[in-house]
Amino acid sequence: MEVEAKGMKVDVSQAVWRSSSTGGDTADNCVQVAFLDEAILLRDARDPDGPVLVFNQAEWDAFVEGAKDGEFDL
């Protein structure tokens, strides 16, 4: 399946998905990430056929820094 987002065409079927070391492959409450060419993909591990978020490198870097800084803590 190919998606187009932010001027990038991404073939999601080529993605190699990774789970966090705390989530593992059997966790039902984590996300998975894939690094594919110039795109970084993020999806819900419970819904692998569901929607995929597409980030470019600058957006991914900002997201990771925000998470490290607690920007998204509830």
Give the tens place of pLDDT for each residue, 29-56.
Answer: 788 999 998 899 999 988 988 999 999 9
List the domain range (segments joined by +) for residue 55: 2-68
Residue 53 lies in a domain: yes
Residue 74 lies in a domain: no
How many angstroms separate the Cα of 49 from the Cα of each of 23, 38, 40, 57, 61?
A: 18, 21, 17, 23, 25
Residue 62 banded pLDDT, cuts 50, 70, 90: very high
For residue 23, what pLDDT is reported? Answer: 55
Residue 29 lies in a domain: yes
For residue 24, what pLDDT is reported? Answer: 55
Residue 15 lies in a domain: yes
Residue 51 lies in a domain: yes
- pLDDT over 70 (residue 22): no
What's the number of domains the chain is made of? 1
- pLDDT over 60 (residue 69): yes
